[in-house]
Structure 1
């Protein structure tokens, strides 16, 4: 489909140019609010982690990581239903079969309710069997189940071009969760504070999404008679997408448990902090991905090969522009940033950040291509990628951890993320005719070359002022990163990475007083 997009003339394209521009605007709006959400998550994660360590201690923090790793397995029971609903409701304008769509949503919510009740019951039984370790596990389970119940609603809102509602609701619940944790810790609570905050914030998010959904769907009523046929169709699509999430849902928690067993809680804490820093960074460019799936699904249903090719190229290019600056900055300044973050130097956390960041970036760049295949209903290559990643992720980090300790574990996990991504990009060309790996390499090289002058200048300034106490403040590093972004933006135009028109659109988009009325107008449509 992508090998010769020029073969399709303008008269053959079903999606008109104004409609395509509106689609790009919805993607931009969802990405902008997603950046707000991800920035909030990253900032709270950076600020909250040192507070948790100081209040809970290293051992208590490790116990919290262990419990949340166990409850992370519950995310596997979401079964990819939110993605399936986003795809189905994304085609609503082409096939407005509202009763069928409502039946699918009702079936998904009913299934998750049954799964949630069973999971909570089982964790209460486990807590009574092993009270010393798993006392709080049922409460973390309840919070996770409430989060799962909100995912189908979030998928429907994304399919109805309301991703900004999902992002803003997530931002509000994140702020509420962090504030409640800090307050409870200050008044003397322990791990119970984190469990209670998770339950409260997840419940708030669920109620907010339900209220917004009543405003978004025609008729304001979602529930309809469940339909097993539609549920099977969604499970088939969702299970394929769920396989692509196995790394987050299964492999990563399993590796944490293995690392805890082999090297202890202190090493797990160092790894977890580095991993959380990398995850917070990856959240920022990844906000664009949920908005791409409904767009690719709509373009594929209308057989618009030109639109698919253009959207894929744009998404990949902007993914590089959003991720490379912060990756380069953190690779260069990881040690002093970690010191300013946790108030003491930690070579292990800095090492974990650098090594994991390389694999995460390579894997992140496959995002637009995976969303295209999922949106077009061709997920087989995504399945192959995640199977290779699972095999490597379950074997290589553990073997290298036994041989080399923490550094070996980090190298193994980074390889388990990078190698399947490279194989995926190489196979993508044979499947579609689009040279994905070469396109990403050219894009990455151009952006990196444009970033060398500003990062070199900032490194020189840092070396000259190495002993200045200002570098102990995290705000100083935020200011330095802002200067770096400004310098990078200044070099993007002369090097051809961004055109003058694109830079102008960027600053126009950031004018929130003009953006918010448009947001409200679209929300009312």
Structure 2
């Protein structure tokens, strides 16, 4: 299969999978907030964010499996692949045991950290224990994801996740639409389905795509451990940076302000995180491709890959940015307006979105640059840069929250600052330095057309907002449909590269000829 077809297949499957994830989130979030209330839903969020930090105990080695296996596939080194596989299984099994021990040590302190009532302590013990054990048991099976990614089977990963997300939605609606089921039941549902998802991907990888792989103690090597740790430790820093940016603020808000405030911050944050895969799906598939191009010394193609990946990511993120900037208040009202949150809560969330959305739109597509830097041996400088920028952003957010008395608004500003420093400025400059690309030409090729598209859409929304006043669901749907049509026209006429516009025209002409007979 050609490189273009591989990329298209992976991106299309990924977008489909993330669309299903967004739809399940849209349905489950108001249902769970209405069922549990702002406070208990905040507890669920804080426990989830806290246990997710346990994933860091793999020190990023999970992310290194894909790169080493894809490189060995090119070099046709099956023996080396078996050593990578066996070493990874052994390492992850050890991490699984380490996580279980960590859960036992930390769990007695969780109720005090969350400041929950005495009557809820046993519930919190169970919820934290189940979610932590879930992370531990999933660890050895994470090798399956890396193996599938190495063969560009992102579509398989996406379709398996779609199945389990839909099943999760069905069970949540069934158990929490009515009745008195609590947080423990919710934790059990997530435990069973998340583990089943990981096991299914592992079995598909090892039985169908890598039947030659076999775990052997003699294949566990110190050399592979050191090599994966070298790349893995840089991936650990990047993962830590991502978690600090996305999850740490929720914990800080819950401990410093209130558990209820975590809900107000987490919903805008979750909305952006659920939308980000539509933007990053293209660039996030570049690691095995870039690794192969690097092995073949095809650096010109690497730069073309980077520019196309970031530019088309921006074409996806810019319309999202403009739409949310103008219509996020209506979206929040339609989505969660009847879940028990007040108008003040909805207004607070809308203001947070306006702070976060522009840096998010301009910086998130740089996942393509990050992927290529990771795949070409520049992983350490990329990881350190992201980590430092994250520390600066989170630190500024804390200062604004505590000393400027800005509350969760200060945290949102710190989050936005991290994106600006890391993704919009530092990563592109690093790429230009290492691959000897003109900074001006790079930013021009990547950002010029998407920013022109942003200006057109922004102007349209200003004019359209004077014509139609959105006061209900019907008007919101009309605005969304009209905005979508204008966006598609704008992407076609402004966003697409000429070669891709010509390719699309050819496809459309053939379809018209086909259906004319």
TM-score w.r.t. the length of structure 1 is: 0.85
**Counterpart pick for 1:174 among 165, 184, 198:** 165
Partner of 1:33: 13
- Partner residue in 2 for 1:412: 414
Tell me the CA shift for residue 506 of structure 1. 8.2
The one of 318, 329, 332 equivalent to 2:326 is 332
Asked if 2 retains the 8 angstrom alpha-carbon contact of 1:316 and 1:368, the reply is yes
1:435 lines up with 2:429 in the alignment: no
Deviation at residue 54 of structure 1 after TM alignment: 0.3
Cα separation, 1, equivalents of 2:308 and 2:495: 15
Cα gap change, 1:462 to 1:144, in 2 (>3 Å): farther
SS in 1 for 2:180: coil
Query: Per-residue CA shift, 1:231-289, capped at 9, x if unaligned?
Result: 22111111112211212334543322221122212322111111001111112111223
Task: State the Cα distance separating 1:221 from its structure 2 match.
Answer: 4.0
Instruction: Report which stretch shifted further, 231-240 or 146-155.
Output: 146-155
Cα contact 1:359–1:414 (8 A) shared by 2: yes
| Partner of residue 489, structure 2 | 490
Q: Which moved more, 1:104-113 or 1:446-455?
A: 446-455
Cα distance change of structure 1 residues 290 and 366 upon mapping to structure 2, 3 Å threshold: closer
What's the CA shift for 1:130? Answer: 5.6
1:231 aligns with 2:225: yes
Query: Does 2:449 match 1:446?
Result: yes
Task: Give the alignment partner of residue 284 of structure 1, picking from 274, 278, 291.
Answer: 278
1:397-434 CA-to-partner distances (Å, cap 9, x unmatched) read 11101112222221122112211221332343223222
Aligned to 2:75: 95
Q: Any conservation in 2 of the 1:271–1:349 contact (CA below 8 Å)? A: yes
Query: 1:181 Cα shift?
Result: 2.3
Partner of 1:202: 194
Change (3 A) 1:57 1:228: same
Bigger shift: residues 197-206 or 51-60: 197-206
Residue 142 of structure 1 and its aligned partner are, at CA, apart by 1.9
Distance 1:437 1:50, change over 3 A: farther
The one-character-per-residue Cα deviations of 1:123-151 (angstroms, maximum 9, x if unpaired) are 23443566624442110112223443333
TM-score (norm 2): 0.86
Alignment of 1:322-361 (within 5 A): 322-343=316-337, 345=343, 346-361=346-361
Q: 1:467 to 1:302 in 2, by over 3 A?
A: closer
CA shift for structure 1 position 480: 4.1
Q: Which runs of 5+ in 1 are unaligned?
A: 1-18, 511-525
Partner of 1:7: none
Q: Please tell me whether the aligned partners of residues 355 and 414 of structure 1 are also in contact (alpha carbons under 8 angstroms).
A: yes
Distance 1:229 1:50, change over 3 A: same
Residue 472 of structure 2: aligned partner: 469
Gaps of 5+ in 2: 112-120, 512-517
From the superposition, tell whether residues 360 and 455 of structure 1 become closer, same or farther in structure 2 (CA, over 3 Å).
closer
1:117 match: 97
Say which SS state the counterpart of residue 377 (structure 2) adopts: coil
Note the 1:514-525 alignment, pairs <5 A.
Answer: none
Instruction: Please say if residues 355 and 413 of structure 2, whose CA atoms lie closer than 8 Å, have aligned partners that are also in contact.
Output: yes
